[in-house]
Amino acid sequence: MTDGDATDSSSNASETAMPDEWSIPRIVRTMVPLLAALSVLQLVSGTVLEAYEAVLVQNPALLVLVPVQIGTAGNLASITCSRLTTQLYLGTYELDPSNPDLRANAGAVFALAATVFGAVGVAAWAIGAAFGGTLALGRVLLVSLISGMLLAVLVVVTSVAAVEISYRVGLNPDDTTIPVVTNVCDIAGVLILFAVVSVVV
């Protein structure tokens, strides 16, 4: 399978003109440093999780919240970023609190966060209770909703900042914003969750 990248590209005239985007070493060399750097960054949230190990093992409901928090943060961020970028290209985006598109995006993110994190709070409590957790429904719901809404604020702020900065610096926001903002929100999701946990629980 891995044989003859060189022979293949020389036998195909159309590929000799430009670097072969489909060669294994090229893909690996591009991706591995990036992925390695991102995973070192993710150790920040790992360190937080590790620090709360005792609380997490004791309260399965909180453990259930972890992947949901991370996943939803990234999803809300990627939706917001791609919408803002499209609006930027269409010329309807403007960094102004009265901008109707900006308000619509922000409003939708808050409404989505309220829906999702309300449902997640109840579900995490039920699953946690089934695993023998003792945390009350009110507590789990409070943790889920407060951390979720704080996350929504962060998603909106970082997405707008990322789009604004990459536009001013002259980078294509389609390439830069989603990886940066989703990773930032993944990590911040865990940090916010445990900041709230340490206050509420």
Partner 1 sequence: MVGHDTARDVYRQALPVILVSLVAGLFAGTILGSETMRAGISEVPGLLLLLPAFLATRGGVYGSLGARLSTGLHQGLIEPRFRLDRRLTNAIVASFINGMTVSVFIAVVTYLWLTLLGSGGNLLQLVGIMVVAGLLSAVLMISVLIVVIFVGYRRGLDPDNVIGPVVTTLGDVFGVFFLLVGIYVVGVVL
Positions in 167-196 near partner 1 (CB under 8 A): 183, 186-187, 190
Residue closer to partner 1, measured from CB, 135 or 146: 135
Q: What is the DSSP letter of 18?
A: S
By the rule CB under 8 A, 10 interacts with partner 1 = no
Beta-carbon contacts of 163 under 8 Å, excluding residues fewer than 6 positions away, are: 81, 84, 85, 88, 93, 173, 177
Q: What is the DSSP letter of 91?
A: T
By the rule CB under 8 A, 18 interacts with partner 1 = no
Question: By CB under 8 A, what part of segment 24-63 binds partner 1?
Answer: 24, 27-28, 31-32, 34-36, 38-40, 42-43, 45-47, 49-50, 53, 56-57, 60-61, 63
- CA–CA distance, 37 with 40 (Å, rounded to integer): 5
Question: What's the N-to-C CA distance of the chain in angstroms?
Answer: 54
Total residues contacting partner 1 by CB under 8 A comes to 74
Angle (CA) 69 175 21, round 5°: 115
Locate 199 and state its tokens: 């206050």
Smallest separation (angstroms) from partner 1 to the CB of 31: 5
Locate 19 and state its tokens: 């670097």
Locate 12 and state its tokens: 């195909």
109 near 100, Cβ under 8 Å? no
17 φ, ψ to 5°?
Answer: -65, -40
By the rule CB under 8 A, 198 interacts with partner 1 = no
Per-position x/- string for 82-101, each x denoting binding to partner 1 as judged by CB under 8 A, each - no binding: -x--xx--x-x-------xx
**Site for partner 1 (CB under 8 A): which residue of 55, 127, 161, 165?**
127
By the rule CB under 8 A, 138 interacts with partner 1 = no
By the rule CB under 8 A, 136 interacts with partner 1 = no
- CA–CA distance, 175 with 173 (Å, rounded to integer): 5
Residue closer to partner 1, measured from CB, 32 or 95: 32
Per-position x/- string for 148-167, each x denoting binding to partner 1 as judged by CB under 8 A, each - no binding: --------------------
